[in-house]
Amino acid sequence: MTDRMRIRAEQLNELSASVMQKNGCNEAEAAIVAEVLVEADLRGIFSHGTARLKRYVDHIASGIIRPNTDPEVVFESKLAAVYDGKGGVGQRIASIAMEKTLEFAKNCGVGFCSVRNSNHYGIAGYYAERATEKGFIGISTTNTAPLVVPTYSREPVLGTNPIAISFPLNGKVFLLDMATSVVPRGKLEVYDRLSKEMPDGWAVDENGNSTNNPTVTLKALLSKLGGILPLGGPGEMFGGHKGYGLSLLVELLTAGLSQGKYSKETYSGRGEICHFFGAIDPAIFGDREEVTESLTRIVDEVVSSERADGQSKIYYHGEKEARKRQDSLQKGIELDLKTVELLDKLADKFEINRPKWEDCR
């Protein structure tokens, strides 16, 4: 814990927004990027928090992200739309598309949007939960940079392709937010830094053979071979073909329906990431209170099942993150000092006053 300090969300939010504005983002873009990054930090998902800020800045510099660019509706029906993100800021595009999705759902009970030509949008769960705050079942999914090999392939043509689905429950939210790969790329990088062997079933080398050496996979990825395995691991013995199917499903919902680029084709010049959003009103299935009660009861019963030897708790999805968020709001976000340093450097570079970080502990 000595390498972390407790920081107030507002400070991180303000700095992030300033950095994005200094890099050409308009106010709305800067605000939503800051919000989504800080939400990740609040929940303890630091890989997708303000530590990403530098990458966004770099992506603007290299032309992958075009700031101050509005997405355009290219097709619209009664309860669905397709957006062309025009290479703009992922969080802003996603936020507009989810708002549109919610409009459809308010009018029709259900709404969907598929988006092409966008950029990294942060944590998938943020957008699903935004629907659920309004009482809807929320869906948010995105393709990503190509990192994952299909079952029996050695070429990383798929992304880690997260799927987020959330349900409104009494007093809480069920939020499943899962990469469709066994692990995210960040996990390989951590093992690489520690020179640690990966367990069997995480990744393959340039020939598609299992490897325990993270360096081998990370190197192979540079020449667009090898990669991370889908959820379920290698072959079909542990259901790897299922993870592969979920990942391909994400490509179809995002790039397929929006007529955009699938993961293999992303980041060749521009980002060209694709998203998909959904909102479903539980009240199309019955009295809202009764349906919510039914959903809540099931989750409550499942987490009350008999614990395995040595386990102290069975969680529902989103529970850990919601607890962490509460804690972070009360006591400050537990940010590691390396990220704090990175943020200070960004402030200096863009001539923003360094925040007076207070350790809230």
Answer for which of 204, 279, 335, 346 binds its own copies (CB under 8 A) is 204
Query: Closest distance between its own copies and the C-beta of residue 173, in Å?
Result: 12
* Angle at which helices 9-22 and 53-61 cross, to 10°: 10
Q: Which residue in 74, 88, 202 sits closest to 147, CA to CA?
A: 202
Query: Closest distance between its own copies and the C-beta of residue 187, in Å?
Result: 10
Q: Which is nearer to its own copies, 227 or 355 (CB)?
A: 227
Two structure tokens written together for 96? 């507009």
Please return the burial class of 222, using the count of CB atoms within 10 Å of its CB with bins 0-12, 13-18 and 19+.
Answer: exposed
Two structure tokens written together for 165? 């689905």
CA–CA separation, 235 and 173 (whole Å): 34
Q: Which residue in 48, 36, 49, 47 sits closest to 7, CA to CA?
A: 49
Evaluate the CA torsion angle 256, 257, 259, 264 in order and state its sign: negative
Q: Which is nearer to its own copies, 6 or 100 (CB)?
A: 100
* Span of 122-130, 212-220, 239-247, 342-350 interacting with its own copies by CB under 8 A: 239-247
Q: Rule CB under 8 A: which of 141-160 touch its own copies?
A: 149-155, 157-158
Q: Rule CB under 8 A: which of 170-189 touch its own copies?
A: 174, 176, 178-179, 182-183
Answer for which of 61, 237, 329, 337 binds its own copies (CB under 8 A) is 237
CA–CA separation, 285 and 207 (whole Å): 49
Using CB under 8 A as the criterion, what x/- string covers residues 105-134 for binding its own copies?
A: ---xxx-x-x--------------------
Q: Is 288 in the site for its own copies (CB under 8 A)?
A: no
Please return the burial class of 188, using the count of CB atoms within 10 Å of its CB with bins 0-12, 13-18 and 19+.
Answer: buried
Query: Closest distance between its own copies and the C-beta of residue 35, in Å?
Result: 25
Query: Closest distance between its own copies and the C-beta of residue 102, in Å?
Result: 15
Answer for which of 207, 331, 338, 349 binds its own copies (CB under 8 A) is 207
Using CB under 8 A as the criterion, what x/- string covers residues 299-338 for binding its own copies?
A: x-xxx-xxxxx-x-xxxxx---------------------
Q: Rule CB under 8 A: which of 242-271 touch its own copies?
A: 242-246, 248-249, 251-252, 255-259, 262, 264
Please return the burial class of 304, using the count of CB atoms within 10 Å of its CB with bins 0-12, 13-18 and 19+.
Answer: exposed
Using the structure block, give the residue that is written with the tokens 């800020």.
Answer: 53
